[in-house]
Amino acid sequence: MPEKFVTRGFVGRRESAGTQANRIPPGQHLVKDFPVLSAGPTPRTDLAKWTFRIEGLVKEPAQWTWGEFQKLPAQEFVKDISCVTKWTKLDTHWRGVSVDILLEHVELDRRAAFVTAFSDGGYTTNVPLPDLIDGQAFVAYEYEGKPLAPEHGGPARLVVPHLYFWKSAKWIRGLRVMDKDVPGFWESLGYNNHGDPWKEERYTGD
Amino acid sequence: MKRTLEWQIATVTAIKPETAEVKTLTLRLPDWTAHRPGQHYDIRLTAEDGYAAQRSYSVASEPERIGEVDITVERIPDGEVSPFLLDTVVVGDRFEVRGPIGGYFVWDGSVGGPLLLVAGGSGVVPLMAMLRHRAAAQVSAPARLLYSARTYEQIIYGPELDMLAGLDGLKVSYTLTRQQPPGWKGYGRRIDDAMLKEVSAPLGRDVLAYVCGPTALVEVAADGLERVGLPADRIRTERFGPSGT
Amino acid sequence: MSEPMDDELVLDGNAAAGALSEIYGDDMTTVLAECGSCGQVDPIGGLVAFVHAPGIVLRCTACATVIIRIVHTPKRTLVDVQGKRIPQPPTGT
């Protein structure tokens, strides 16, 4: 690997981690803002037409309208999040419904092992089922006390904070329960099927 | 003509303030290749710990200036690279560059005219390379520049544009969208179809249009030019990211 | 899908010119791309580009269908060409 040419005086706009350093996964740096990254145009879904669905290897699919979804038991979550593009943001505040609660409304087939999250605009991402349960994931519709903004995935997005944030599908419309791990939008082009930031599982084969 | 795109180390030989938030850096390139006006260079900055940032900057200068290129940098508030280039870099500093890049948003004298250039803010930079080349190569095809800026003080290259407009066949029209100085005789509103019709009509139906600036302005201008009669395949666009205040 | 794509973060194929040049060994921005979904034809330089992402995504100007995706990893560059008329990248990428 050729030696990098160091540019005099350049440090980049990075926050010093200081006492928080142990909360920052390897190769990441701290940010205070909330960068917007997107693979496509921001969908603008009419809430009157919005539904959230759990389908696939379940006995009966479950589906909620926006009004019904809002009536599900919701919680406040405070989480650290890490993007594969190397920024980490600490103590992000969300409100939403735990995936555990959503899965209570379906009966999982015994072959169920993986989930494909699917979104408006065609984005998909694959997550192993064990990474979505036991309080590890939720569908969020509020961020920092306000309705989730469209550029950050509103009206609702998946949040799986212990994995790289490309797994936290914006504009989510449902979860498809599978017996196979089917690479999603970024996974099919070189990103890791699992995505644990503490093991730096960024790319396929990491 | 295939060329492998390689990084080389450029040296800053001059820095010129253009406006309060804009400067032009002259870069001497050991492996300079004549660019086509409209092309850009990628710049890569690497910190001591290996953290790197990369950005693209349109070449502002004409290819007739051998061995060096000018890039014009506008401050992006809270940006990572522009504050570094504007506040930290001094003459003699070096950084990695790669280019020239691009083949779609380019114009040179051999392409012909008439030429309609529409600029929003720092989108004027690649269009300035086209106008400087047009003057250096003494291209006779008529040209017009419609330049949208927020205020008079934010116009980049003002005196030089006045000088070029005094030469053969170039007309420059400004529209100041936020504030106009007393006695202002130019346009004073966002670009719209009526304005586009006025600036393009004298150039006739063979006109080639190049539109560059923030995405929203480029969309409005390109759609507008089609509505006033330019064929879509005679309109080329380049969108810059979010710009400064 | 007809979302306005005038969001300030949306760029165009010019922004992918460097990456494509690295992959194909030549400038690709004047190459015509045909959308596999709606048939719209645009030069690659005129496609809609999303570059603030884990990769670069070039989309159709009419219907936003993905035409080209590019991911740089430390070991290799991956390219997925979904549009028509675009040459496949040289092997080894």
Q: List pLDDT tens digits, range B110-140.
A: 998 899 999 999 999 999 999 999 999 999 9
Q: Is A7 within 8 Å of B51 when comparing Cβ atoms? A: no
Closest-CA distance of chain C to residue B216, Å: 5
What per-residue confidence (pLDDT) applies to B5? 83
In angstroms, what CA-CA distances link B241 with B53, B95, B117, B135, B233? 16, 22, 19, 29, 23
What is the model's pTM?
A: 0.91
Q: And the tokens for B103? A: 């083949």
Chain A residues whose beta carbon lies within 8 Å of the beta carbon of residue B96: 5, 7
Average pLDDT of the segment spanning A96-111: 98
User: Would an 8 Å CB–CB cutoff place A157 in contact with chain C?
Assistant: no
Sign of CA dihedral C23, C27, C31, C35: positive
Of C50, C69, C76, Cβ closest to residue A38: C50
- pLDDT grade, residue C75 (50/70/90)? confident
Contact A42, A152 (CB under 8 A): no
Among the residue ranges A72-76, B28-32, C74-78, the one predicted with the least confidence is C74-78
What per-residue confidence (pLDDT) applies to B61? 98
Closest-CA distance of chain A to residue B74, Å: 17
Tell me the β-bridge partners of A178.
A114
- pLDDT grade, residue C3 (50/70/90)? very low
* pLDDT averaged over every residue in chain C: 89
Q: Is C69 within 8 Å of A189 when comparing Cβ atoms? A: yes
Chain A residues whose beta carbon lies within 8 Å of the beta carbon of residue B92: none
Of C6, C26, C28, Cβ closest to residue B215: C6
Q: What is the Cα Rg of chain A in Å?
A: 18
- pLDDT grade, residue C1 (50/70/90)? very low
| Helices (runs of H) and strands (runs of E) counted in chain B | 5, 11
Q: Is A12 within 8 Å of B48 when comparing Cβ atoms? A: no
**Chains with at least 3 CB pairs less than 8 angstroms from chain B:** A, C
Among the residue ranges A17-26, A71-80, B16-25, B126-135, the one predicted with the least confidence is A17-26
d(CA B81, CA A100): 43
Of C63, C71, C4, C12, the C-alpha closest to C36 is C63
Asked if the model's pLDDT at residue A117 lies above 60, the reply is: yes
Asked if the model's pLDDT at residue A48 lies above 50, the reply is: yes
> Beta B235-240 vs A146-147: how paired, if at all?
unpaired
What per-residue confidence (pLDDT) applies to C2? 36
Average pLDDT of the segment spanning A3-16: 86
Q: And the tokens for B235? A: 């309109």
Tell me the β-bridge partners of A63.
A53
Residue B225 CA, chain-centre distance (Å), reads 19
Enumerate long-range contacts of B29-33, CB under 8 Å, 24 or more apart: B29/B67, B29/B68, B29/B69, B29/B97, B31/B6, B32/B66, B32/B67, B32/B68, B32/B69, B33/B3, B33/B100
> Beta A157-159 vs C48-50: how paired, if at all?
unpaired
- CB environment B119-136: b (16+ within 10 A), e (fewer): bbbbbbbbbbbbbbbbbe
Between A181 and B244, residue with greater pLDDT: A181
Q: And the tokens for B55? A: 């950005």
User: Would an 8 Å CB–CB cutoff place C42 in contact with chain B?
Assistant: no
d(CA B99, CA B71): 12
Of A5, A9, A10, Cβ closest to residue B9: A5
What per-residue confidence (pLDDT) applies to C93? 47
Q: What is the DSSP letter of B184?
A: -
A23 by DSSP, 3-state: which?
A: helix
Q: Is A13 within 8 Å of B78 when comparing Cβ atoms? A: yes
Give, for all 245 residues of chain B, the pLDDT tens digit. 455 689 999 999 999 999 999 999 999 999 999 999 999 999 999 999 888 999 999 999 999 999 999 999 999 988 889 999 999 999 999 999 999 999 999 999 999 889 999 999 999 999 999 999 999 999 999 999 999 999 999 999 999 999 999 887 899 999 999 999 999 999 999 999 999 999 999 999 899 999 999 999 999 999 999 999 999 999 999 999 766 43
Average pLDDT of the segment spanning A114-119: 98
Average pLDDT of the segment spanning A182-201: 97
User: Would an 8 Å CB–CB cutoff place C7 in contact with chain B?
Assistant: yes
Nearest residue of chain B to residue A3 (CA atoms): B50
d(CA C57, CA C55): 7
What per-residue confidence (pLDDT) applies to C6? 54
**Three-state SS sequence of A90-121:** EEEEEEEEEHHHHHCCCCECCCCCEEEEEEHH
User: pLDDT of A127-167, one tens digit each?
Assistant: 999 999 999 999 999 999 999 999 999 999 999 999 999 99
Contact B103, C29 (CB under 8 A): yes
What ipTM score was computed for the predicted complex, to two decimals? 0.90
DSSP per residue, A44-87? ---TTT-EEEEEESBSS-EEEEHHHHHTS--EEEEEEEE-TTSE
